[in-house]
Structure 1
Amino acid sequence: MANWVTGKVKSRTQWSDTLFSLVVDADVAPFKAGQFTKLAWHTDDNKVSRAYSYVNPPGQDSEFYVISIPEGQLTPHLADLQVGDEVLVEHSAAGFLTLDEVPEGRDLWLMATGTGVGPFVSMLAEGSCWQQFTNIVLVHGVRFADELGYRERIRELTQDRLNFQYVPFVSREAAPDVETGRITHAITNGSLEQKANLTFSAEHSRVMLCGNPQMVRDTLNELKLKGLQKHLRRKPGQILMENYW
Structure 2
Amino acid sequence: RGRPVRPPLPTHAPIGFGTPEEAAALATAAAEAGFGRVKIRVGGDQDRDRARVGAVRRAVDRVTGAGTVVLAADANGGWDVATARAAVRWLADHGVAWLEQPTPPGDLAAMAAVRTDSPVPVWADESVRDAASVHAVADAGAADGVHLKLEKAGTVDALAAAVGAARSRGLHVGLGQMDCGRLGCATTAHLAAGLAVEVAELWGCAHLAHDVTDGLILHRGAVLLPDGAGLGVRVGVDPAALTPVGTAPAHPLSPPDRARTFPT
Higher strand content, 1 or 2:
1
Scaled to the shorter chain, the TM-score interval is 0.3 to 0.5
Q: Which structure carries more helix by proportion? A: 2
Normalized against structure 1, the TM-score is what? 0.34
